[in-house]
Structure 1
Amino acid sequence: MYCKKNCFRKFMKGRCRALPVCHPSIQNPDTGCGPHMIKDKVVDILAGLDVLKNFTASQINDHFFKKGYARIVEYQAGERILMEGQYDNWVYWLIEGKVAVIKDEVMIASFQRTGDMFGEMSILEGSARSANVDALCKTLCFKLDMSVLDHPALKNRISRENFCSSLAQLARERLAKTTCRLSETEKELLKIKQLLQQKEEELEEAGILITQLTELNATQNLHIMELTARLENTERNTAKES
C-alpha cells in the first residue's frame, strides 16, 4: 500500500536541497526548531492535501519543488508577507513563528500554530488580497503556487476544481475551529460581564452605605458640637454664679 506520508518523509530527508529558499542549515535559535523538524512539519502539511495522494515523492519533487511552485520562505519580524490589493497565486502554511492579518491598520486575526493556512480566500474567490499579512516575529512559511494547476504535465492529474475543493475544506475546518473558539470566548466574556455587573452592584451598595455612614457621621458631629456648646455655656454660667 502506498503511504504518502512515509514517501514524503523519505523525499524531504533525502532531497531537502530541492526546496528553493530554504537552506538545510536553517536553525531557529528561539524555538530550537532545526532542519529535520522543519521538514517533518512540511511533510505533515503536504500529507494533509488529499489531491496529492496519488503523487510519488519524486513526482512531488519534480513538479512542485524543482519548478519553484513550492517553497519555504523565511520572514523577519515586521516583514510584509501579503499586501492588500495584490494579485498572486500563493497559498501559505505556517511552519514556525506568528503572523497577523491587518485591515485598516487593525489586527483582525493572527496565526501561530504549525499548519495554519492563510491567503487561500483570494485564490478561491479569484479576487485581490483583502488584507495585509505581516510577520510578528521571525517566521517560516511553506507556500504553494496555485498556477501549478495550469502546468501541462499536471492538467490531467489534478483538476483545479478538486484542488480548490481541498483548500475550501481546510478553510471550512479552520472556520469551524475558529467559530468554536469564538463561542468559548463569548461564554467567557458573558461570565466576565456578569461578574462585572455583580461587582458594580456591590460597589453601588457600598457607595450607598458610605453615603449613609457619611450622613450619620455628619449628624454625630453636629450633636457633638451642640453638646460642646451647651457644656461651654454651662461652665460660663457656673463661673458667673461663683
Structure 2
Amino acid sequence: MREIPFDPANDDIMERLKSVPVFDSLPESHIREAMRAASIRRYEAGETIIEEGEFDNQVFFLIFGHLKITVHGTEVGQLKRLGDVFGEMGIIDGSPRSATITTEKTSLVISLDDAAIGSLGEASKIFTQAVMYRVFAEVLAIRLRKANQKISEMQDELNALKET
C-alpha cells in the first residue's frame, strides 16, 4: 500500500469525487474542506485493506478498482463502483471489523480517519461529520434491504426443504 495525503489541488481526484453520489450535490469548496482529513491509498492486487476482527478508525471510499469482501473466509460481496463506501460500521460503533476487504486488482481509495476529522476546525468538523453520517445511513439502509431480501430467500428455501 502506498499512502499520500489528499491534495485538494489534484483536479483529477476532485473530478472523481464530484461524481461520487454522496459528494455530487456539494459545492467543490466543501468537498475540498472535508477532504483535508483524507489521504489517498493505492493498493496492488492481493493486498488487504481491512482485516476482519481488527480495530481501526478509518472509513474508505473506492475511487477505482475491484475489492472482495470476505467473512470467515467466505466471499460475501464485491465493491467496484466509484464511491462505494466501506469501513463505516467501525466508525459508528467502535466494534472490530466484521469483514476482510482485499483487492482483486490495483485499487485507489480515499481514506478518512476519524481522529483527523476531529482535528478540522469546528465548522468543517461538523459539516464533514454530517456528510459522513448521511453516507453511512444510506449505505446501511441499502445493505439492510439486501440482507432482508437474502433472509427472505433463505427462509423460503428452508420452508421448501421442510416440505420434502
Q: TM (normalized to structure 2)?
A: 0.69
Unpaired runs of at least 5, structure 2: 1-6
Q: Do structure 1's residue 64 and structure 2's residue 64 form an aligned pair?
A: no
- Quote the residue 2:49 is aligned against: 81
Q: Which of 12, 16, 21 pairs up with 1:41? A: 16
Deviations 1:159-183 (A, max 9, x none): 7873553133222343266359859
Distance in 1 of aligned mates of 2:149 and 2:17: 26
Deviations 1:30-78 (A, max 9, x none): xxxxxx4x54222223x6159x95x762x6546633xxx2122111110
SS of residue in 1 equivalent to 2:122: coil
Count of aligned residue pairs for this structure pair: 152
Distance in 2 of aligned mates of 1:74 and 1:156: 26
Q: Do structure 1's residue 172 and structure 2's residue 133 form an aligned pair?
A: no
Q: Do structure 1's residue 97 and structure 2's residue 65 form an aligned pair?
A: yes
After TM superposition, give the deviation of residue 105 of structure 1 in Å: 1.7
Measured at CA, do residues 95 and 61 of structure 1 come closer, stay the same or move farther in structure 2, by a change above 3 Å? closer
Contact 2:117 2:129 in 1 (8 A): no
Distance in 1 of aligned mates of 2:15 and 2:129: 28
Higher relative contact order (CA 8 A, sep 6+): 2
Distance in 2 of aligned mates of 1:73 and 1:156: 23
Unpaired runs of at least 5, structure 1: 1-10, 18-35, 194-242
Identity %: 24
Q: Which of 107, 122, 136 pairs up with 1:154? A: 122
SS of residue in 2 equivalent to 1:158: helix
After TM superposition, give the deviation of residue 104 of structure 1 in Å: 1.8
Give the structure with the higher percent strand. 2
CA RMSD of aligned residues (A): 3.7
Contact 1:149 1:158 in 2 (8 A): no
Q: TM (normalized to structure 1)?
A: 0.50
